[in-house]
Amino acid sequence: MAIPFKGSRRIVVDGTAYRWRIRRKPTRIQADYGCGSPLTFAVAPESPRGGTLHVSMDQPRHDNAFNQPRGGIPCSTVTPDTVARAIRRALAEGWQPERGGTFAIRWQA
């Protein structure tokens, strides 16, 4: 499954080009019950065919209703370095980007 070009970012990891994207808005459940739902992002090879890597962070989105400074759970920040490290880890764990389907990992910051 390809990630839409619009709104996604390009990253090259070990000579292979990928596109990655964080959902623009939180899902309804992330917005309403943000403390229990993690920030997620998707990665896919830039080639037209291939599988998608789904990465779940161990912390919530910064834009949910419950994540206020008074609260206790820190926010996740996704940087290109985080994405590159997640891709390398997924490849080491068996993700084959050229094959279809979804591969999911849990990322601990």
Band (77; pLDDT cuts 50, 70, 90):
confident
pLDDT at res. 100: 86
Domain boundaries, the chain: 9-106
pLDDT tens by residue, 50-67 = 899 999 887 766 665 555
Q: Say yes or no to pLDDT of 90 above 60.
A: yes
Rg (CA), the chain: 14
pTM across the whole model? 0.80
As a whole number of angstroms, the distance between CA 11 and CA 70 comes to: 35
pLDDT at res. 23: 74
Band (48; pLDDT cuts 50, 70, 90):
confident
DSSP string, the chain: -PPPSTT-EEEEETTEEEEEEE-SS--HHHHHSGGGS--EEEEEESSSS--EEEEEESS--TTSTT--TTSSPPPP---HHHHHHHHHHHHHTT--TTSSSEEEEEE--
Mean pLDDT of the chain: 81
